[in-house]
Structure 1
Amino acid sequence: MTEPSAGPECPGHVPRFLLRHGWLWSCLVVALVSPGALAEEPDVFEAWLRPAHAPADGFDAWTDLGGAKPGAEVRSLARGRVVEATGESVTLEHLHHENHELQRVRAVYSGLASVTLRPGDGVSRGQVLGRVGAGASGVLHTDRELSPAEARRFTRERARLPQPLEEPVLVLISHARNELRLYERGVERARVEVGFGQGEGPKQERGDNRTPVGMYFIVQTVRGNITGPYSAYYGGHWLRVNYPNPWDASRGVKRGWLTEKTREKIARAWTAREATDASTRLGSGIGFHGWSGEWSLEQSGGRLSWGCVVFHPGDITRLYERMPQGTMVVLF
């Protein structure tokens, strides 16, 4: 529940002769698109957790190459992969986890000397890419080309980045699939069906009955006799996450719902994996709990709570102790 007033809240090879008989063409088409021959649908959990190359654990400071001394070393900002390279230029792709999204950043360096990297090469943070040559320049791209000042701010704000794959315990939750998976140091240990808030879409403000998307941490766990007006719905288990997080708070600042000072306070508490301000218009009291009885996705559509993640009673009993305080939770 959310916001209680008290308490916890075909084969690949086609025989040549078939291609010579037009009357068999329709059979061939059926064979080629049969379910067994189609590629499996990508696993959204694994794609987020284990992308094509290792996500950055942080960015070094961006520096302008225009004023750099000829012959000076040019180093990679972060862990990444070479996507383009010539004798005088190199383009790197950096992946990083930010809130509930996997972001892609490209760093393009031109006018270099001594570039020996090739497309597909992996690079580490601080690795030498080449040396400053005539007319050297560098550009950082997110969804657009950043100005030098924006690039400096971007890297400064991301000097340290989360590494979900290395978390002692990680919980990933897909809204689209009504599914939760629990990992221990990157190894999947459990997957269960879950329900969400009665409101459609990501949570925006107090009382909208929606479940948020984002990266949070479990900050409170309670089992047993839970008191309060909604106690019957918890199924004897409650695990609270620290919604709102810094991205939620930034949204609130843009809408005029809270001040920059409050946003900074929320960011500090979130970084420390502590409870965040519950008094703003963004709302609060988001967590995991059981239910008053058994439920089915077919009957409820998975729309049960006032914003929390709802477990089947047996699943919350089985997994409660495996999700301690400090556990990273990502809803996407």
Structure 2
Amino acid sequence: MPCRLLLGLCLLAVSPGRAAAADAFESWLHPAQPPAEGFEPLPRSASVAPGREVRALARGQVVAVGPGGRSVTLEHLFHENHELRRVRSEYTGLEAVTWRPGQGVARGQAVGRVGTGGKGEVRLLEGGRVLSAAEAKRFTEERARLPLPAEEPVLLLISHAANELRLYERGREVKRVEVGFGQGEGRKRLRGDNRTPLGMYFVVGKHRGDFPGEYGAFYGGHWMKLNYPNPWDAEWGVAQGVISREVREAITRAWRERKLTPASTKLGSGIGLHGWAGEWSLAESGGRLSWGCVVLHNPDITALYGRVPPGTMVVLF
């Protein structure tokens, strides 16, 4: 079986809309090159014997070819939670290759062959730091499969900065509406902080009609529940001592299946999309309305409700 080699890896988060002229939604959903759908596992050995073939870790694009075609550098983009991340992999010790910058490379595609007079070296870096073998192995194992939001049948992208929601079908925008958020500033972390999350979630419940209770009117007759918290919220919770590793694992399993995640932890729950008790304006409210949910104008939630089935991906960034 051909040995798969990753050499030289650099990671950073790409902020949606970094370029002033770029549309934040389109920059995130449709980046300049196709995002990776997953990463191949790293080889066990730190080096590759002469004559062995080297294959691309993930779908990407050639950004550099070394002198004499002895090395190739690929760039990979991938979606993770609410971020678009950028990874570079460098393949060295190769025989002369004919790649050119700008060419696309598929996951597992042959990049080259290790020269007979040398060996391929494996080196992984994150922000200039060389990753240990265990860190590199964990990185690829955790990202063997990655989401491709532009291929989702239905997708909701919601921008905190723009107070805007966009509905996509197979990557094509079909509707955009104004939204409000929680009364608390910043990213939701704990139950009762009145903040709206950042991250990737899925619709796990819907209800339309009357809502009982003192605050029933504030749903505006519509409710679409999200499976907050997600694995990244849970990871933060473990680091802060708020939840256990066992609870984090339960959250991760349910989230991956697009099911309701555990709702009784200190991280909070009950996050979704709904209408409001009456008309509201961004100018008067500043968009700070709810206890953490995304608030839509009632005509907008009415129009969206039937187009958003259970299991729909919702990304708040």
Shared fold (TM-score greater than 0.5)?
yes
Task: Note the 1:313-328 alignment, pairs <5 A.
Answer: 313-328=298-313
The answer as to whether partners of 1:107 and 1:138 remain within 8 angstroms in 2 is no
In the TM superposition, what is the alpha-carbon distance from 1:40 to its structure 2 partner?
A: 7.1
Q: Which amino acid aligns with 1:92?
A: L
Query: Structure 1 residue 72 and structure 2 residue 57: aligned?
Result: no
The answer as to whether partners of 2:157 and 2:316 remain within 8 angstroms in 1 is yes
Per-residue deviation, residues 165-198 of structure 1 (Å, max 9, x unmatched): 0000000000000000000001101000000000
Per-residue deviation, residues 80-112 of structure 1 (Å, max 9, x unmatched): 011111210111111110000001111111111
Which residue number in structure 1 is paired with residue 268 of structure 2?
Answer: 283
In the TM superposition, what is the alpha-carbon distance from 1:58 to its structure 2 partner?
A: 0.4
Out of 251, 257, 269, which is 1:272 matched to? Answer: 257
Which residue number in structure 2 is paired with residue 176 of structure 1?
Answer: 161
CA separation in 2, counterparts of 1:186 and 1:197?
A: 28
The answer as to whether partners of 2:49 and 2:120 remain within 8 angstroms in 1 is no
Per-residue deviation, residues 246-305 of structure 1 (Å, max 9, x unmatched): 000000000111111100000000000000011111000000000000100000000000
Which residue number in structure 1 is paired with residue 25 of structure 2?
Answer: 45
Task: Note the 1:296-307 alignment, pairs <5 A.
Answer: 296-307=281-292
Alignment root-mean-square deviation, CA: 1.3
Task: Note the 1:29-178 alignment, pairs <5 A.
Answer: 41-63=21-43, 66-86=46-66, 87-133=69-115, 134-144=118-128, 145-178=130-163
Q: Which amino acid aligns with 1:143?
A: G
CA separation in 1, counterparts of 2:54 and 2:132?
A: 19
Query: Structure 1 residue 241 and structure 2 residue 231: aligned?
Result: no
SS for the counterpart of 1:199 is coil
Q: Which has the larger radius of gyration?
A: 1
CA separation in 2, counterparts of 1:213 and 1:266?
A: 16
The answer as to whether partners of 1:169 and 1:328 remain within 8 angstroms in 2 is yes
Q: Which runs of 4 or more aligned residues in structure 1 lie more than 6 Å from their structure 2 counterparts after TM superposition?
A: none
**What is the number of residues matched between the two proteins?**
294
Out of 219, 238, 243, which is 1:258 matched to? Answer: 243
Which residue number in structure 2 is paired with residue 34 of structure 1?
Answer: none
SS for the counterpart of 1:139 is coil
Q: Which amino acid aligns with 2:121?
A: S
Q: Which amino acid aligns with 2:198?
A: V
The answer as to whether partners of 2:35 and 2:79 remain within 8 angstroms in 1 is yes
Identity over aligned pairs, percent: 64
The answer as to whether partners of 1:76 and 1:123 remain within 8 angstroms in 2 is yes
SS for the counterpart of 2:48 is coil
The answer as to whether partners of 1:65 and 1:132 remain within 8 angstroms in 2 is no
Q: Which amino acid aligns with 1:266?
A: I
CA separation in 2, counterparts of 1:124 and 1:140?
A: 20
CA separation in 2, counterparts of 1:77 and 1:209?
A: 41
Cα distance change on mapping 1:263 and 1:40 into 2, 3 Å:
closer
SS for the counterpart of 1:47 is helix
The answer as to whether partners of 2:225 and 2:270 remain within 8 angstroms in 1 is yes
Higher relative contact order (CA 8 A, sep 6+): 1
The answer as to whether partners of 1:106 and 1:140 remain within 8 angstroms in 2 is no
CA separation in 1, counterparts of 2:85 and 2:302?
A: 35
CA separation in 2, counterparts of 1:147 and 1:80?
A: 23
SS for the counterpart of 1:162 is coil
Cα distance change on mapping 1:158 and 1:49 into 2, 3 Å:
same
Which residue number in structure 2 is paired with residue 210 of structure 1?
Answer: 195
The answer as to whether partners of 1:224 and 1:237 remain within 8 angstroms in 2 is yes
CA separation in 1, counterparts of 2:122 and 2:213?
A: 58
CA separation in 2, counterparts of 1:66 and 1:199?
A: 48
Gaps of 5+ in 2: 1-18
CA separation in 1, counterparts of 2:70 and 2:122?
A: 12
Gaps of 5+ in 1: 1-38
The answer as to whether partners of 2:47 and 2:119 remain within 8 angstroms in 1 is no
